[in-house]
Amino acid sequence: MTARRRVGVMGGTFDPIHHGHLVAASEVLAWFDLDEVVFVPTGDPWQKAARAGRAVSPAEHRYLMTVIATAANPRFRVSRVDIDRNGPTYTIDTLRDLAAEMPDADLYFITGADALTNIFTWRDVEELFGLAHFVGCTRPGYEMDPAAIANIPSDRVSIVEIPALAISSTDCRERTERGEPIWYLVPDGVVQYVAKHRLYTSALEGDTA
Ligand code: ATP
Ligand code: MG
């Protein structure tokens, strides 16, 4: 019997993808000796307009930025499973689809530790833990409350500290809106993609994919 592959799964809106995401994926890949990390951009939300004040950029833009950002790394790839499924993205569906696609793989779901603490609001929690090991990344300045993950089976979750990267997509969007640079916060190709398609500038709200 051949050894099972070890595959990281990094879900996200990636609007835009930034170096925080890439460092987190790279660190978890090294720590857990993974064969690859699959980035999975979320699908478009049902109601695009008037949702908490901001529409998420079209999925094709977010997908292409993720491809551009990961293309040079032979251990990174991008999956369209969430984009090609209709409706909002639930982690359970992502993991079910990827498990079916890669029956020979053990999955490691990589997420922010803050998102991990909300896990009991997620759907189908019991099945989730059967489908993947969960890796929570703590951000700088983030104090993990041990009680927050006390209910998660300890063999199904790990917490990893990611080095000084206080980068968020929200900050990248706000900087672009204000006309400030995002160079070095995101990969060069993503800076150029954002400019080319005029994403995150309220004047035009970007072009459609
Ligand atoms: P937004 O500001 O729009 O919420 P974001 O920067 O949190 O965006 P997401 O696409 O929401 O980016 O994040 C995808 C995943 O990456 C989430 O699990 C999130 O917690 C994690 N993540 C985001 N930023 C970082 C970072 N700087 N370091 C480590 N993990 C991160
Ligand atoms: Mg976020």
Residue 47 tokens read as 């109601």
**Under a CB-based contact definition with an 8 Å cutoff, are residues 113 and 142 in contact?**
yes
The answer to the question of residue 148 being in a domain is yes
Instruction: Please tell me the predicted confidence (pLDDT) of residue 203.
Output: 59
Query: What is the interface pTM, i.e. ipTM, of the complex?
Result: 0.96
pTM: predicted TM-score of the whole model, two decimal places? 0.91
Considering only residues 34 and 111, tell me which one the structure prediction assigns the higher pLDDT: 34
Residue 55 tokens read as 């529409």
Q: Is the pLDDT of residue 172 over 70?
A: yes
The answer to the question of residue 174 being in a domain is no
The answer to the question of residue 175 being in a domain is no
Ligand nearest to the Cα of 21, by number: 1
- Most confident listed range (109-113, 126-130, 163-167, 182-186): 182-186
Instruction: Please give the number of the atom of ligand 1 that sits closest to the Cα of 170.
Output: 2
Q: Is the pLDDT of residue 155 over 60?
A: yes
The answer to the question of residue 89 being in a domain is yes
Query: Per the structure, how many domains does the chain have?
Result: 1
The answer to the question of residue 207 being in a domain is no
Is any ligand 1 atom within 6 A of the Cβ of residue 187? no
DSSP state of 186: B
CATH number at residue 97: 3.40.50.620
Query: For 184-198, what is each residue's pLDDT tens digit?
Result: 999 999 999 999 999
The answer to the question of residue 44 being in a domain is yes
Q: Provide the domain limits for residue 32.
A: 5-166
What's the average model confidence in pLDDT over 120-145?
A: 82
What is the H or E stretch that residue 35 is in?
A: none
Is any ligand 1 atom within 6 A of the Cβ of residue 169? yes
Considering only residues 173 and 149, tell me which one the structure prediction assigns the higher pLDDT: 173
Query: For 4-22, what is each residue's pLDDT tens digit?
Result: 999 999 999 999 999 999 9
The answer to the question of residue 202 being in a domain is no
Write down the mean pLDDT value for the chain.
Answer: 88
DSSP readout, the chain? -PPPEEEEEEEE--TT--HHHHHHHHHHHHHTT-SEEEEEEPPPPS--TTSTT-PPPPHHHHHHHHHHHHTT-TTEEE--HHHHSSSS--HHHHHHHHHHH-TTEEEEEEEEHHHHTTGGGSS-HHHHHHHEEEEEEEPTT----GGGGTTS-GGGEEEEEPPS----HHHHHHHHHTT---BTTB-HHHHHHHHHTTTT-TTTT----
The answer to the question of residue 62 being in a domain is yes
